[in-house]
Chains A and B, each alone.
Chain A
Amino acid sequence: MMKRRHAAWAVLFLAPSAIPLVLFTLMPMISSIRISLEQWNLISDPKWVGLGNYAKLLASPTTLSVFGNTLGYVAGYLPLVYIGGLALALALNAKLPARGFFRAVYFLPVVTSWVVVALMWKWLLNPSTGVVNAVLGAVGLPQPGWWTDPNWALASVILASAWKDLGFVMVILLAGLQSIPNDLYEAARIDGASAWRLFTNITLPLLTPSTFFVVVISLINGFQVFDQVYVMTGGGPQGASQVVVGQIYDLTFRYGRAGEAAALSWLLFAVILAITIIQMWGQRRWVHHD
């Protein structure tokens, strides 16, 4: 009797979230699988091609290039925000004056939308009239073509992204640092440990849970990078900065190849899932749990 009453309540309490999740996540997810097995331009009748889209994608050099660019983005972005964020977190964890103010300032770009950040940096990095090149020129350094140069386009996006997310990483690592008990440091200091030993033997190991969180989130978000690329370079020049999600968008809405786009989105999902699983498995080896 009691059980039945609970079941009715469960339906009532779950329906408000279950209905949107079914309609806007589960249903499109299932149709995405179907679309990925079809050749379809969004207008005329879809044609069943089975795994043809996947085969076509795997054989295409463009696929390799967009995955390579996405990987390049992550490989440039992650060390930059992690090392920068860690340095800032350590600095703010020392008892400096005005640290609340600095923390707030570093976090300001985090609340700013990607489109705004991308536009601001596109303007700062404008090859001919941007302030960055003006300063570089004034001190006699080379002035790269930034987002107009295929060699620099991805670097421009990485720079803007790292600037935006630095505060986020700093805040997460700072929270991790503040959860390390102070008496550990005091005990080690009594034993005469140097600052470097304190850092490598206490701080870094006890910071591994926060580090793990930052790495997992950054990799998942990094592989889904889109907004800043779309705004800053549109994937160009000549596809030099085209990323996977940009290619999914272009395949669907520019070239009318929705089936291939859906298949590519599942390839991306498979890559993200594989990386996440490897990390979950690998964390036992390096993440310290109390």
Chain B
Amino acid sequence: MTKPRRIVLFVIVALVALAMVFPFAWTFVTSITPDGSLADGPSLYVPNPTMAAYVELFNRLPMGQIILNSVVVSFAATALQLITGSMAGYAFARLQFRAKPVVFAVYLATLMIPLQVLVVPLFIQFRDWNLQDTLFSLIAPSAASAFGVFLLRQAIEAVPKELDEAATIDGAGHLRIFAMVILPLIKPALATVGILAFMASWNSFLWPLVVIRSPELQTLPLGLATLQGLYTTRWDVVMAGSVVSIIPIALVYLFAQRYIIAGVSHTGLK
């Protein structure tokens, strides 16, 4: 490529990067602007920054509790999906049983059912069981994901069977082979499934919106949406809430960015 063309390309790439960063920057600027009023016209420079919006935010919503809920729910869902998914993957990849094709087809079918079809009956089910408005109701429906099962089954099938056979000769049973031979060898697939599960759970909105009523059981997306309903005019407070809910995921992203991107691009190569 010629030098001028490379420079033009670089400038375009940098401008798009600015367009990606600007909304975050503007959100932060609004959150420290007094009353969120931008009467003097838009500017990234705030002459008299204030934390008032954050004080208001923490007075109005139990933000500490809401962040904790998001963390607990997302980590629980991720851990459960990794455990249930890798075990099922092992069963489909390594165990011989007559019902396997049928059971596998049923797992496949659950993959095709969108959340929208489930949301009304699932709400009724939790209401009838008196489990609505609990953290359990947020975690349980994402304890297993058929998608995770498929990705992990694929990864286990790629592990040479000779390794299992060697372990069997050494006297290992299925539990030992699963835990000591298979799991360490499918770490990249576990990372991919874990990342996708965590992101999906952390950002999930429709189901929490349906099943949670108590402010102290809200997760971040739900708390934020509620906040917007409370303050249609106080954009500084709404943006302060956005900043607070971006920070935890941004920190995770900062440290695991390489793995997150690799994990996501990996799913596209299937």
A104 contacts B206, CB within 8 Å?
Answer: no
Count of chain A residues with a beta carbon within 8 Å of a chain B beta carbon: 90
Is A48 part of the binding interface, using a Cβ–Cβ cutoff of 8 Å? no
A230 contacts B41, CB within 8 Å?
Answer: no
Question: Quick one: given A10-B95, A32-B117, are A21 and B242 in contact (CB under 8 Å)?
Answer: no
B1 contacts A113, CB within 8 Å?
Answer: no
Q: How many A-B residue pairs have CB under 8 A?
A: 266
Residues of chain A within 8 A of B245, CB atoms compared: 113, 116
Residues of chain B within 8 A of A213, CB atoms compared: 268, 270
Residues of chain A within 8 A of B268, CB atoms compared: 171-172, 175-176, 210, 213-214
Residues of chain B within 8 A of A163, CB atoms compared: 19-20, 23
Residues of chain B within 8 A of A58, CB atoms compared: none
Interface string of B236-270 (1 = CB under 8 A from A): 00110110011001101100010011001110111
Residues of chain A within 8 A of B12, CB atoms compared: 91
Question: Nearest Cβ distance between residue A123 and chain B, in whole angstroms?
Answer: 5
Interchain CB contact (< 8 A) of B41 among A7, A88, A134, A273: A134
Interchain CB contact (< 8 A) of A110 among B30, B123, B264: B264
- Nearest-CB residue, chain A, relative to B199: A111
A17 contacts B88, CB within 8 Å?
Answer: yes
Question: Nearest Cβ distance between residue B216 and chain A, in whole angstroms?
Answer: 18
Interchain CB contact (< 8 A) of A113 among B17, B85, B119, B205: B205
B116 contacts A245, CB within 8 Å?
Answer: yes
Q: How far, in angstroms, from A265 to B235 measured CA to CA in the complex?
A: 34
B97 contacts A3, CB within 8 Å?
Answer: yes
Is A185 part of the binding interface, using a Cβ–Cβ cutoff of 8 Å? no
CB neighbors of A among B93-131 (8 A): 95-100, 103, 106-107, 110, 112-125
Residues of chain A within 8 A of B144, CB atoms compared: 16-21
Interchain CB contact (< 8 A) of B242 among A35, A119, A261, A272: A119
Question: Nearest Cβ distance between residue A83 and chain B, in whole angstroms?
Answer: 13
Stretch from B45-53, B185-193, B218-226 forming part of the interface with A: B218-226
B143 contacts A114, CB within 8 Å?
Answer: no
- Nearest-CB residue, chain A, relative to B245: A116
Most buried by A among B19, B252, B261: B261
Q: How far, in angstroms, from A126 to B99 measured CA to CA in the complex?
A: 57
Is B159 part of the binding interface, using a Cβ–Cβ cutoff of 8 Å? no
Is B154 part of the binding interface, using a Cβ–Cβ cutoff of 8 Å? no
Q: How far, in angstroms, from A10 to B88 measured CA to CA in the complex?
A: 8
Q: Which residues of A contact B (CB under 8 A)?
A: 3, 6-7, 9-10, 13-14, 16-21, 23-29, 31-32, 35, 42, 88, 91-92, 94, 96-97, 102-116, 119-124, 126, 129, 131, 134-135, 163, 166-168, 171-172, 174-176, 179, 210, 213-214, 220, 224, 226-227, 230-231, 244-245, 248-249, 252-253, 258, 261-262, 265-266, 268-269, 272-273
Q: Which residues of B contact A (CB under 8 A)?
A: 1, 6, 9-10, 12-14, 16-17, 19-21, 23-24, 26-27, 30, 38, 41-42, 83-85, 87-88, 90-91, 95-100, 103, 106-107, 110, 112-125, 140-141, 143-144, 146, 149, 174, 178, 199, 202-203, 205-206, 209-210, 220-222, 224-225, 228, 235, 238-239, 241-242, 245-246, 249-250, 252-253, 257, 260-261, 264-266, 268-270
10 nearest A-B pairs in the assembled complex, by CB-CB distance: A172-B268, A175-B265, A113-B203, A13-B91, A28-B121, A17-B84, A115-B221, A17-B144, A20-B143, A24-B141
A-B contact pairs, 7 of them (CB 8 A): A13-B90, A35-B120, A123-B30, A123-B238, A163-B20, A174-B265, A268-B114
